[in-house]
Every structure is written in structure tokens, then in C-alpha cells.
């Protein structure tokens, strides 16, 4: 006897397929999971969402349609020139992603958005964290500009390793004299 599945439930196979697609989107800077809705039923995947640029839409279509396990693909996404997101919505999305970064103690990033212009203020210890904040903003549709005023307090090589942080793992490597120059 087959198990009864409610209409709004998805099969395990379709759930795995959706997660596989979302993971591919996560690593592509042209598209954001916040811009799309992905549905799957028996390997048939439907993509819906709005994009501000055609290249973003094409990237999403390519990522979804070329994912292993997609048997049939239906594209219901659209390009809306001058796609507009409310400042509050953008701020919430960006703040949520920044919070997932789990910054070490003493480091902070503040986000504000007005008319599609994202502004970052803060203090971090690594330049790549500053760059990552900008990337988070630019991957969302509706962002018109990004002003990054995050200050890098010191280079990673100057970080005091004697003060352990609960969110950071420190590695110490000793180089043998035969290799050191």
C-alpha cells in the first residue's frame, strides 16, 4: 500500500533536488536564492521570480535547467527593468546574511538601505570580510549601489593570537629549519 502524501508535501527526491539547485545558486554571484521560488514535482522543476537584469535571469535558468535530476524545466521568471525592492526588505535580507557570518568578538557590520542604495559601516579584522559584505549586497536584485565604509582594523598577519575568540579557530604552524629561508 502506498503512503498518502498531502498536496503541499513534496517527496524526498524532489526535496533533495530543490536543495541541490539552491546550493548551486548560493555559489553563483549573479543570482540569489532570495530572488527565486523553486518548486519540484516528480523531477519537473518550476522557476518563478523577478530579476532586474536579463543576465541574472539567464544565469538562474541555466543553473536550474542544467542541475542533475531535473527531468523537465518550466521557466516562469521574468525581467522587470528597474526592479524595485522596498528598502526595509533589502535591509532585512542583507542583515540576515551578515548575521550568518558570525563575526569574532569586537567586530561589527551595520547595514542601512535607502532607495536601493546599501551602506555598510563597521570594523573587521580581515579585508575579505569587507569584500564579502559588498558581494552579499550586489547579488540581490533591486540594489542600485553599494557604499562600503567598513574599516579593516588590522591585517590578518597582525592579529593577536593570544586572545582566543569563541567563533574563530586559530592554527599555529611551525616551519622546519630545513624549509625556512
Same domain, yes or no: 74 and 100: no
pLDDT, tens only, 12-57 = 999 999 999 999 999 888 888 888 999 999 999 999 998 888 888 8
- 116 three-class SS: coil
Domain boundary among 79, 106, 135: 79
Report in angstroms the alpha-carbon separations of 56 from 26, 78, 79, 118. Answer: 13, 10, 9, 19
pLDDT, tens only, 59-85 = 999 999 999 999 999 999 988 866 678
Q: Is residue 181 part of a domain?
A: no
Domain total of the chain = 2
Q: Is residue 173 part of a domain?
A: no
Grid cell, residue 180, equals 625556512
Predicted confidence (pLDDT) at residue 150 exceeds the cutoff of 60: yes
Please tell me whether the overall predicted TM-score, pTM, comes out greater than 0.75 for this model. no
Q: Count the Cβ atoms, other than its own, within 10 Å of residue 95.
A: 16
Domain of residue 43, CATH code = 3.30.1340.30
Q: What is the rounded distance in angstroms from the CA atom of residue 82 to the CA atom of residue 41?
A: 32
- The label of the residue with cell 624549509 reads 179
Q: In the Cβ-directed half-sphere of 45, how many Cα atoms lie within 13 Å?
A: 29
Asked if residues 123 and 108 have their Cβ atoms less than 8 Å apart, the reply is yes
With residues binned 3-state (H G I as helix, E B as strand, rest as coil), the percentages for the chain, rounded to 5, are: 30, 25, 45
Range of the domain at 37: 12-79
Amino acid at each position: 500500500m502506498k503512503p498518502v502524501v498531502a498536496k503541499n508535501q513534496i517527496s524526498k527526491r524532489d526535496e533533495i533536488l530543490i536543495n541541490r539547485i539552491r546550493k548551486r545558486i548560493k555559489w553563483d554571484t549573479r543570482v540569489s536564492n532570495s530572488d527565486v521560488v523553486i518548486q519540484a514535482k516528480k523531477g519537473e522543476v518550476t522557476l518563478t521570480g523577478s530579476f532586474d537584469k536579463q543576465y541574472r535571469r539567464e544565469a538562474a535558468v541555466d543553473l536550474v535547467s542544467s542541475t542533475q535530476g531535473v527531468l523537465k524545466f518550466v521557466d516562469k521568471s521574468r525581467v522587470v527593468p528597474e526592479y524595485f525592492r522596498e528598502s526595509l526588505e533589502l535591509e532585512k535580507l542583507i542583515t540576515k546574511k551578515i548575521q550568518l557570518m558570525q563575526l569574532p568578538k569586537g567586530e561589527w557590520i551595520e547595514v542601512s538601505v535607502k532607495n536601493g542604495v546599501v551602506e555598510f559601516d563597521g570594523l573587521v579584522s580581515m579585508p575579505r570580510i569587507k569584500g564579502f559584505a559588498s558581494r552579499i549586497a550586489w547579488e540581490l536584485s533591486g540594489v542600485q549601489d553599494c557604499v562600503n565604509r567598513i574599516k579593516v582594523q588590522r591585517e590578518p598577519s597582525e592579529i593577536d593570537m593570544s586572545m582566543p575568540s569563541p567563533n574563530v579557530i586559530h592554527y599555529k604552524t611551525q616551519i622546519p629549519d630545513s624549509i625556512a629561508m
